[in-house]
Each structure stands twice: as structure tokens, then as C-alpha cells.
Amino acid sequence: MTTPRETAVYTHGHHESVLRSHTWRTAANSAAYLLGSLKPHMKILDIGCGPGTITADLAALVPDGEVTGVDHAPGILEQARATAAARGLTNVDFAVADVHALDFPDDTFCVVHAHQVLQHVGDPVRALREMRRVTRPGGYIAVRDSDYAAMTWYPASAGLDDWLDLYRRVARANGGEPDAGRRLKSWALRAGLTDVTASSSTWTYSTAGEREWWSGLWADRTLASAYAERATEGGHATVEQLRAVSDAWREWGVQDDGWFCVLHGEILCRKEV
């Protein structure tokens, strides 16, 4: 039976401004903490695969193994399949799945990976228990999530302060936890994982091109994505307030001394043998 805590709405949706960010992600810039543990023969489950760029990278790194990418949103999987096909990968497949109730037998995968997933689910501890269940003894559960309250930027911007406050309110109203990065180790321990290595890493945007890209996708996302709809329909912001936040993003993006840092928490957990 599904309880309210086990369900959550994906705050961002899959608007083009969201996929602009998702398709930029690679195993190198988003899963570096895991890569040293990979072996060519491994069987990997990539949860919340989205458009499949990280999934495809993982498949290329385990040429004698297999990778299964899963996502709760069926529509995005066609793009993931196209990503893998364009790279000529034959050891990867994709399916719809719910991380709270994975449709795989116990002890199936050598690695179960989730990037930017647990911040959006209703019960991250249950999700981690499911991830542990389908991991083989001696295998790895690898999770990375951003932490919105720890994001920081320069120069100071009242409009970006408003953005951060608004985003955290909308995400929590949708059943998620936007400050997930700092909680990953705690969630893992509550899920019964005992061999847990916690780390952190960042994305930083400072060059003119990086600022234009990062500010532009958030300016557009604030006005046109599912996040924008949920902000207004949930009574968290008016359209005028969203326009002001969008304008603040564009203003920050043209500052020559602009700098933005996204902190991520990471956990690499070894399942007991």
C-alpha cells in the first residue's frame, strides 16, 4: 500500500530548460566518487536516469557488463534510448520503475546508482532499503544529491535569495527534501547500511559561458517549467514574483565577477557479504 510519505511530485518536470541541465551531466562531472570502484564486468542499475547521459557513460565504462537505466517518467526514456543508440552502446536497456518498489529480484546488481533522486522522493530511507535489497553482497549503493541551502553565489542578490526560498518551499510542498545532500549519510544509516563512505563535491559556474548557461536555464525554468506551474498553482508565488526571480537570474548571469557553487553530498555504501 502506498502512503503519502512514499509519494512525491518531481518538482522540475522535463521542460527543455530542465533537460538543458540534465543532458550536460556526465559520469565524470556527476559520479566521480563512484568511478574508481567500477569493474568492466559489472551489472549496474541507474535509478532516475532521465535523458541517459550518465547511464550511457556508465555503460561505456563496463563494456563486459550491463547497465539498466530506470525512471519514474516513461516519456523521458525515449530520449535515453536515443542517447545510448547514438553512442553505439549495446549493453544498456531502459525501463519504468519506482525506487520505493523496484521490480527486480534480491541481489541482482553489482552497483545501484542514483543521482539527484532522493531529494525528490517521498521516503528516501525506504528507497535506500530497496536499493540495498537489489544490490549483490559486496556490491555498492552510490547516491549523490545537491543541497539547496548550501548553494552559494556572488555577488549578493536579493532576487536569488527569493529564488532559493521559493524553490525550497515548492520542493517541500511536493513531498521532497531539497537539502538532501547533508542528509544522505543519516538516511543510509537509518536504512540499515553499515559500510558508508560519505564525501562531497561541487559544480561551479564562473566563466562567461558558464554563467550564461546556468542563469539562462534557471531564468527559463522559473517561468516555463513544471516547477513554475507548481509555484503558482500551490500559492507559493505569483507570476509577477516569478518574473522578478527570472530577471534576477539574468542580471546575475551578466556580472563579470559572478560565481555560483552547487554543493553535493555523496555516499558510497558497500553491502555486507
The model's pTM is 0.94
261 strand-pairing partners: 152, 204
Q: What is the pLDDT of residue 109?
A: 98
User: H or E segment at 109?
Assistant: strand 109-115
Query: Quick check: 118 pLDDT over 60?
Result: yes
Query: Quick check: 125 pLDDT over 70?
Result: yes
Q: What is the pLDDT of residue 172?
A: 96
| CA nearest neighbour of 42 among 135, 143, 145, 144 | 135
DSSP state of 49: -
Query: Quick check: 4 pLDDT over 60?
Result: no
Q: What is the pLDDT of residue 20?
A: 79
Q: What is the pLDDT of residue 165?
A: 98
Average pLDDT of the residues of the chain? 94
In this prediction, residue 14 has a pLDDT band, given cuts at 50, 70 and 90, of: low
Tell me the C-alpha distance between 114 and 1, whole Å: 24
Least confident of 192-206, 212-226, 251-265: 212-226
Q: What is the pLDDT of residue 18?
A: 64
Cell numbers for 102, please give them: 523496484
In this prediction, residue 183 has a pLDDT band, given cuts at 50, 70 and 90, of: very high
DSSP state of 101: B
Tell me the C-alpha distance between 242 and 222, whole Å: 6
Tell me the C-alpha distance between 31 and 144, whole Å: 7
Q: What is the pLDDT of residue 224?
A: 87
Tell me the C-alpha distance between 62 and 89, whole Å: 11
Instruction: Kindly report, residue by residue over 15-35, the tens digit of the pLDDT.
Output: 676 677 788 999 999 999 999
Q: What is the pLDDT of residue 8?
A: 60
Gyration radius from the chain CA atoms: 18
Tell me the C-alpha distance between 243 and 141, whole Å: 40
Q: What is the mean pLDDT of residues 161-190?
A: 97
Tell me, rounded to whole angstroms, the distance of Cα 265 from its chain centroid.
Answer: 11
Query: Quick check: 1 pLDDT over 60?
Result: no
Q: What is the pLDDT of residue 5?
A: 43
Tell me the C-alpha distance between 97 and 47, whole Å: 8
Instruction: Kindly report, residue by residue over 208-231, the tens digit of the pLDDT.
Output: 999 999 999 999 999 988 889 999
